[in-house]
Amino acid sequence: MKPLNPRITGWQGRRVWIIGASSGIGRSLAEQLGGAGAELALSARSEEGLREIAREQDQVLPLDVADPVTLERVRDRLLTQWGGIDMTFYCAGVYYPMRAWEINLQQVNAMLSVNLQGLYNLLPALLPHYLKQGRGGLCLLASVAGYSGLPKALGYGPTKAALINLAQILYSDLSPRGIGIYLVNPGFVDTRLTRQNDFTMPALVTPGEAARAILDGIARGRFEIDFPRRFTRPMKWLARLPPRLRFYLLRRAVTP
C-alpha cells in the first residue's frame, strides 16, 4: 500500500528546522538528526538551552512562536543561508495540569499561545516557501490528550485536539501539492512538562525513544505517528466508546 507521506529514510544534508529544540522531544530529535547528518536550525525561547546541544555547524536561532515577525525573520535567514527548507518540526509546547475548579487564565492563554497559535503564526511564514519549492515536510507534535477529554487536561487537551484537526486539514490541502504533513501523537514522555503530573504515567517512554519512533514513522511515510502502541491503542478505543461508558471509565481512573 502506498504511504500517505513521502518516506524519508536518510537525513544526510537535509535542511531541518526544529522549533522547540531546547528540551524534551525536540532536543532528542536534534541530537539524532544531527548524528544522521542533517543540517540543523535550532529554535526555542531559551538560547542557553540551544547552545548546550548545538554542534558547531548548527544554526542557533532563538525565537518566540508568539511573535510572527520573528518567525518570518528566522525563515528569511534560513532561506538566505540554505536556499530552502526540507523539513520543519513544530515541537514547541506548554503544559499545566488543571481541573475545571482550578482554571488559571494566564496558564490557559500560555497553552493556547504556544501550542496552537504559535503554529498558526508559523504557517504563513513557511507554507508559501514550500508551495513555491513544490515540496517540504511539516511535522506537528500533538498528543493522545487530543483524542478525548481527559482529567487535568483542561487547557492542554483542547489545544492538542485542535492540532490533530488542523493536521488533517493541512494534509488534505497540501499533500496533493507535494508537501508532507506528519502528525505525532505520543503517550506519556518523560520531560520537564510531564514531571508536573502527580500520578503514575503508564507506558512512559524517554525523549530519545520518542524521537526514534518519530523518525521511524517518517521513514515509513505515515501520516499519524502514535506511540507507544500499547497505550495509544486503548486511548483511541476510549475515544470511540459511548459517552456514558467513557465517562465512567475516566471517573474510575482518577478516583483514588
pTM over 0.75: yes
**What digits encode the pLDDT tens for the residues 139-157?**
999 999 999 998 899 999 9
The residues, ordered by sequence, that sit 6+ positions from 149 with a Cβ below 8 Å of its Cβ are 157
Q: What whole-number distance in Å separates Cα of residue 193 and Cα of residue 57?
A: 29
Take residue 86 and report the three cell numbers written for it.
526540507
243 to each of 99, 101, 250, how far by Cα in Å?
19, 22, 10
- For 32, other C-beta atoms within 10 Å of its C-beta total 16
Domain residue ranges in the chain: 15-254
Contact 156, 196 (CB under 8 A): no
Q: In degrees to the nearest 10, what's the CA dihedral of 64, 50, 28, 35?
A: 130
Contact 239, 147 (CB under 8 A): yes
Residue 40 burial (10 A CB sphere; 0-12, 13-18, 19+)? buried
Which CATH homologous superfamily contains domain 15-254? NAD(P)-binding Rossmann-like Domain (3.40.50.720)
**What are the pLDDT tens digits along the chain (256 aa)?**
899 999 999 999 999 999 999 999 999 999 999 999 999 999 999 899 899 999 899 999 999 999 999 999 999 999 999 999 999 999 999 999 999 999 999 999 999 999 999 999 999 999 999 999 999 999 999 999 999 998 899 999 999 999 999 999 999 999 999 999 999 999 989 888 888 877 778 898 999 999 999 999 999 999 999 999 999 999 999 999 999 999 999 888 766 5
Q: What whole-number distance in Å separates Cα of residue 35 and Cα of residue 29?
A: 10
Which is nearest to 79 in space by CA: 7, 22, 132? 132
